[in-house]
Amino acid sequence: MLIHSLAMMSVVCAQMYMEEPCFHVLRTKYKLSYSPHSDKRCLHDVIGFSVTVVSSAKLTSVTTAADAVLCQSHTL
């Protein structure tokens, strides 16, 4: 249970850290979506992190922009 709690805290911290870059970069810089956001998930003891972008842009544009945000945050 301790490992699960530590993992969940890590994902919560990652989600909090990514919330502003996801919104600012994907919405303001790339103008891809009105409400992009990041979120944490815990389903059947699998903990994960997601980035959601609802957009009319091409999938490759959205994927490239989301990957750029994730890679940029990794180097900070």
| Distance separating alpha carbons of residues 15 and 42, to the nearest angstrom | 13
Domain range for 7: 2-75
Instruction: For the chain, 76 residues long, give each residue's pLDDT as a single digit of tens.
Output: 677 677 777 766 766 666 777 777 788 888 877 677 777 777 787 777 777 888 888 888 888 888 888 787 655 4
- Going through the chain in order, the beta strands assigned E by DSSP cover 37-43, 46-52
d(Cα 76, Cα 73) in Å, to the nearest integer? Answer: 5
User: How many folded domains does the chain comprise?
Assistant: 1
- Residue where the block lists tokens 């980035």: 51
At residue 4, the pLDDT reads 65
